[in-house]
Amino acid sequence: MVPVIALVGRPNVGKSTMFNRLTRTRDAIVGDLSGLTRDRQYGEAKWQGRSYILIDTGGISGDEHGMDEKMAEQSLLAIEEADVVLFLVDARAGYTAADQMIGEHLRKRNKRSYVVANKIDNIDENLARAEFSPMGLGDAIPVAGAHGRGISQMLEIALREFPRDEDELEEGAEVEEVAEGQEAKRIPGPSEKDGIKIAIIGRPNVGKSTLVNRMLGEDRVIVYDEPGTTRDSIYIPFERNEEKYTLIDTAGVRKRGKIHEEVEKFSVVKTLQAIKDANVVIFVMDAREGVVDHDLNLLGFALEAGRALVIALNKWDGMTPGERDFVKIELERR
């Protein structure tokens, strides 16, 4: 499973600068998802053979109202999604009440969290560590995100418990042919146990669950339900025509505790993880709604990951020939 790292902290501590530095070799893949994660940005990054998903969040100050309150709530959601939280603080400004509030929340959530003392330029590192030690989250990691100082140490600490990408490769993994001097991109091959892994992805309410049920509902299909390691996704091995497959069902959306009044929210992270773990991606779209920016973001991530891609235009029935032609043209154009 690809680890997820969230950058959290109060406003103006350097989270976006850190995000841009860590993802500088690859553009942010998914971001500004209208109505879902508008104030969070997702990117894919890699460090010393370890791929990870990075989340940039809005600031948390503790006195938010209106839109700022919604942004703070989204930052708390990012904490829930993450495997590791990098809690950025401003070494020049020192320890604040907002820092204390965020630190208390992280301790209650029992998340792997590390304090990152940013903007350490011209500041004694030992004094910075002492300044933030009352939060009880261990020694602060001194960095200067704008200049790249301390970044390697920070990533080594954050990713040390996760395997390198090659350690997770299954037998039969292939390597793309690339031009001399470029880095080879490894493509996971089907394992004997799981067969070809097929991820069913798409926005909420486009018919992913119906498609999964149809694929598994035939008499020739043998289904074995077992939970997957990717949070909120279910890995469903099945056999068809004596061939083994594994469906990665991301159709379910999850409730985020009491945040957003128990409204179920679509998890971008679980979809990105499913894409990374799959051999084939079936992207389900609602033909009646057409192509939206969020669809393009996820399609871009699947293509960037080098996965075989199938686009399924669902809810095709009931549309006129003219409407169908328009959807096809729009999809080809975009």
Q: Write down the pLDDT at residue 267.
A: 60
pTM, to two decimals: 0.60
Q: CA-to-CA distance for 7 and 266, rounded, in angstroms?
A: 20
Q: CA-to-CA distance for 190 and 279, rounded, in angstroms?
A: 7
Q: Is 251 exposed, middle or buried (0-12, 13-18, 19+ CB in 10 A)?
A: buried
Helix (H, G, I), strand (E, B) or coil at 123: coil
Return the DSSP state at 231: T
Q: CA-to-CA distance for 327 and 150, rounded, in angstroms?
A: 49
Low-confidence ranges of the chain (pLDDT < 50): 25-38, 64-68, 169-187, 219-231, 251-266
- Computed over every residue of the chain, the mean pLDDT equals 73
- Which pLDDT tens digit goes with each residue over 175-192? 343 333 333 344 455 555
Q: Write down the pLDDT at residue 66.
A: 41
CA 212 to chain centroid, in Å, comes to 22
- Which pLDDT tens digit goes with each residue over 110-165? 889 999 999 988 888 888 889 888 888 888 999 998 888 899 999 999 999 888 87
Q: Write down the pLDDT at residue 184.
A: 37
Q: Write down the pLDDT at residue 242.
A: 82
Domain boundaries, the chain: 4-165, 187-333
Q: Identify residue 333 by its one-letter amino acid code.
A: R
Architecture of domain 4-165: 3-Layer(aba) Sandwich (3.40)
Q: CA-to-CA distance for 214 and 294, rounded, in angstroms?
A: 25
CA–CA distance from 186 to each of 7, 91, 172, 276 (Å)? 28, 40, 11, 11
Q: Write down the pLDDT at residue 287.
A: 84
97-109 and 67-81 are packed helices; what angle lies between their axes, rounded to 10 degrees?
Answer: 40
CA torsion 62-64-68-74 (nearest 10°) is: 40
Q: CA-to-CA distance for 237 and 197, rounded, in angstroms?
A: 9
- Supply the CATH classification number for the domain 187-333: 3.40.50.300
